[in-house]
Structure 1
Amino acid sequence: MSESFEGNAQAIQARWPRLLERLLAEDSAGLQADLVEGLGSTLSISGIQLTSRHDRTAEARTQAASLPADSPVIHLYGTGLGDLQQILLENPALQRLQVHILNGAVFALVLQLLDQQAWLNDPRVELGYAGDLAEIQLPFFALPSELVLADDYNAKIRDRLVSEVHLAFNNRDFVADSPEVTQRLQSSAELVASDSDVAQLFGTQPGREVFVIATGPSLERHFERLREIRAQARRPLFICVDTAYRPLLKQGIEPDIVVSIDHRISGLHLPPEKSAAITLVYLPMVDPQILALWQGPRYVGYSASPIYARMREQLPKAQLYVGGSVIHPALDLAVKMGAEQVTLFGADFAFPMNKTHAGWLDGELGPQLGAARHWVLDGHGQRVRTQLNFRSYLCELERFIAGHPRVRFYNSSRDGAMIAGTIYHPEFSQ
């Protein structure tokens, strides 16, 4: 055991003895670690540099400058080589620095190599694993290298951090005064004015079980059973997202309600020919030409997005929750209609079985399997490929579920992403 580790371990033992036990159990020896040199040097883990190899201190000062200087509390995600902790603690206005470990093995290795006692012994510092908390804390800085290196235990928090960091970029296509948005809303205004308010559906199914059906690959495992249940006289309400509509019809499964919010949805996704008995719930960014062809009842609502601010005032309708994906308003609709139990189908947020979606070819709905560079944990505790926006949608779904503790949420498959707050359905998830 190195001299550095002994000193670091004593500092941690004095303040966080249980944390030290966990760190001692980490497999730091299994890491692919290398010294990388430039004008200075740093540690590389699996090809990812923990810090700059030229000037670690200058980098840390740049990172610290992005945080509010007058904040009494700062949350730091990732431990790095200790540089940013030292810089942040130079600020006399800082009363508490909460350091959240994103990779226990990496931190354990750094403790063996470098003296970290200066910041570990500072009484303003609190230290723990990021995954011990269910939600991210603000204000924060997340070390970029450790967002990549985050281990399985801390992956859920990693996903929330990445989603928060990317929020402004992800919303770039939805600027309220962009010409494309303005034109679409103007062309939809007549239908929005005449179609029914989605609020008329709220409370109409008190206590009923609802199936919310998305388009993840695991949906294909349930087609036969869903077809059988749909034929029963007493059955759950079937609500599907727009991209699941065509695959369901092809399997002889007619949903009760289809939910659509995306301006890119076309007649390919929502063929109108057999829609007379099916309700369509939509947001005004959906193509009005597609809406006009729908034969069944139409209900319209809004999200909280600023793009609908003016239209909400001029043509008041109820709101549905949207967190980036159509799965969110579909689930919110189920809850607002009165569901006490909701089972999710095809809500994979990943690419299990080497497919992107059920009922569609690779790339037909946008993402391609070969482009998947990220991962989430599935219901078996294994890593499954995904993409960043899917992880963001998953975070928002989990937040929605956490906000509705009186509703029982079931997941029908272990093949897709593990969804915090859901229970694996005893019949469907076998």
Structure 2
Amino acid sequence: MSECFEDNAQVIERRWPALHTRLMLEDSASVQAELSEGLGSTLSIGGIQLTSRHDRVLEARVQAASLPVDKAQLHVYGTGLGDLPTVLLERAGLERLYVHILNGALFALVLQLLDQRHWLDDPRVELLYAGDQTDIYTPFFALPSEMVLADDFNAKIRDRLVSEVHLNFNNRDFDPQSPTILQRLQDSLEVLLADDDVAKLFGTHAGREIYVIGTGPSLESHFEQLAAVRKQAQRPLFICVDTAYRPLREHGIKPDLVVSIDQRISFRHLPFEESDGIPLVYLPMSDPQVLKAWKGKRYGGYSASPIYASLRRQHARAELYVGGSVIHPAVDLAVKMGAERITLFGADFAFPMNKTHAGWGDGDLGPGVNLARHWVRDGHGERVRTQLNFRSYLCELERYIAGHPEVRFFNSSRAGAMIVGTQFNQEFVQ
């Protein structure tokens, strides 16, 4: 080990002995780093520059400027070359700076190359592995390079950071003043006022097990079992999302209730011909023509989105939780109906078996498999391809589950993403 590493390691061992032990086991030799030079220099890992190669300190000051100056505690995700922690510690009002390691081997390499004692030895600093935490903390700055270079252990927190950073961008299509949105809400108002409040469903199935059925590829392996369960006299309640409705009916499975929230859902997704006796729960962004054609009873509600603020003030309706995907309000509905046990089907948040959705062709419901550039861990601990927005939906579901410890959540498949907070339902998992 270099003399530089020994000096850095002594500080870490004194302040965080358990973390020091873990760092000593990191394989820094596995990090293929090169020197990248410009007006200054930095490290480049697989073509990704860890910092600016021209002026690292100026870059750190720009990053620091995005964080509020009146907060006593701040969080930095990624260690970089130590520039951002150093700059933030110049703030006299800062009482605690949490530095979260996103790549242990990379940090171990940096400790060998550069003296980091100027920030490691500051009593206001707490150093920890990001992956040891269950969620992210704010206010934070996440180093862009390490959002890409995060190792497997810290990947779950990386996913949540990405989701948070992209939040404003993802919400760009939901401007409350958008003429398109205002027109859709106006068009749906007649239906909403004629239908019951979704709150009438709350508490109607206290203590019952509920199956919440999504459209992930793993659903295809359960059609036969679900059809058999559906015929039982005493059975769980079946709640499905809109895009799962058609595949279920094609396999002889009639859901007890359907949930739909997306303005792009059409008759192609929700054919109405055999919808007698099937309640439909919806939000007002749904296509009013699709809603009017539905033969079963309809229940309207809102999400917490600002686009419903005006409607909410004028026409009271209960809210369902929405975190970007229709699976969220379907799960929330199950909880509010009184479920003590929920089993998820087709909640894959990934593309197992090299497919995007059950019962639909590649690209029918969004980008095709070949466009997937991201990954999550499946129930076997292996990487499975996914989309960036799917990872965000997964994060939001995991947060929801963590907030409802009174409900037992189960997953019916190991093929899709591992969902923190769920167990595997042994009746369905091989």
TM-score of the two chains, using structure 2 as the length reference? 0.99
Q: Quote the offset at 1:136 in angstroms.
A: 0.8
Alignment of 1:351-370 (within 5 A): 351-370=351-370
Identify the residue that residue 92 of structure 1 maps to in structure 2. 92
Over 3 Å off, 4+ runs: none
Q: Quote the offset at 1:50 in angstroms.
A: 0.7
Q: Quote the offset at 1:70 in angstroms.
A: 2.0
**Structure 2 alignment gaps of length 5 or more:** none
Alignment of 1:257-268 (within 5 A): 257-268=257-268
Q: Which amino acid aligns with 1:76?
A: V
- 2:174 is the alignment partner of 1:177: no
**C-alpha distance in structure 2 between counterparts of 1:250 and 1:47, whole Å:** 48
Identify the residue that residue 105 of structure 1 maps to in structure 2. 105
Alignment of 1:25-44 (within 5 A): 25-44=25-44
Q: Quote the offset at 1:93 in angstroms.
A: 1.3
3-state SS of paired residue (2:172) = coil
**C-alpha distance in structure 1 between counterparts of 2:427 and 2:150, whole Å:** 33
Identify the residue that residue 114 of structure 1 maps to in structure 2. 114
Identify the residue that residue 271 of structure 2 maps to in structure 1. 271
Q: Given that residues 39 and 55 in structure 1 are in contact (C-alpha distance below 8 angstroms), is that contact kept between their aligned partners in structure 2? A: yes
Identify the residue that residue 396 of structure 2 maps to in structure 1. 396
Identify the residue that residue 79 of structure 2 maps to in structure 1. 79
3-state SS of paired residue (1:171) = helix
**C-alpha distance in structure 1 between counterparts of 2:205 and 2:244, whole Å:** 22
Report the number of matched residues: 430
The percent identity for this pair of structures is 72
Identify the residue that residue 247 of structure 1 maps to in structure 2. 247
- 2:166 is the alignment partner of 1:166: yes
| RMSD, matched Cα | 0.8
**C-alpha distance in structure 2 between counterparts of 1:38 and 1:221, whole Å:** 55
Alignment of 1:403-422 (within 5 A): 403-422=403-422
Q: Quote the offset at 1:381 in angstroms.
A: 1.1
**C-alpha distance in structure 2 between counterparts of 1:382 and 1:109, whole Å:** 26
Q: Which amino acid aligns with 2:10?
A: Q
**C-alpha distance in structure 2 between counterparts of 1:149 and 1:292, whole Å:** 49
**C-alpha distance in structure 2 between counterparts of 1:234 and 1:72, whole Å:** 56
**C-alpha distance in structure 2 between counterparts of 1:168 and 1:185, whole Å:** 22
Identify the residue that residue 65 of structure 1 maps to in structure 2. 65
Identify the residue that residue 342 of structure 1 maps to in structure 2. 342
Structure 1, residues 330-374: CA drift from partner, whole Å, max 9, x if none?
A: 000001111000000010111111111111111100121111111
Q: Which amino acid aligns with 1:336?
A: K
Q: Given that residues 192 and 315 in structure 1 are in contact (C-alpha distance below 8 angstroms), is that contact kept between their aligned partners in structure 2? A: no
**C-alpha distance in structure 1 between counterparts of 2:208 and 2:133, whole Å:** 33
3-state SS of paired residue (2:97) = strand
Q: Quote the offset at 1:164 in angstroms.
A: 0.9
Identify the residue that residue 153 of structure 2 maps to in structure 1. 153
Identify the residue that residue 321 of structure 2 maps to in structure 1. 321
Q: Given that residues 74 and 139 in structure 1 are in contact (C-alpha distance below 8 angstroms), is that contact kept between their aligned partners in structure 2? A: yes
**C-alpha distance in structure 1 between counterparts of 2:337 and 2:293, whole Å:** 26
Q: Which amino acid aligns with 1:276?
A: D
Identify the residue that residue 224 of structure 2 maps to in structure 1. 224
- 2:265 is the alignment partner of 1:280: no
Q: Given that residues 51 and 81 in structure 1 are in contact (C-alpha distance below 8 angstroms), is that contact kept between their aligned partners in structure 2? A: yes
Q: Which amino acid aligns with 1:263?
A: Q
TM-score of the two chains, using structure 1 as the length reference? 0.99
**C-alpha distance in structure 2 between counterparts of 1:320 and 1:269, whole Å:** 21
Q: Which amino acid aligns with 1:208?
A: R
Q: Quote the offset at 1:94 in angstroms.
A: 1.0
Alignment of 1:293-312 (within 5 A): 293-312=293-312
3-state SS of paired residue (1:313) = helix
**C-alpha distance in structure 2 between counterparts of 1:372 and 1:363, whole Å:** 11
Alignment of 1:181-196 (within 5 A): 181-196=181-196
Identify the residue that residue 24 of structure 1 maps to in structure 2. 24
3-state SS of paired residue (1:358) = coil
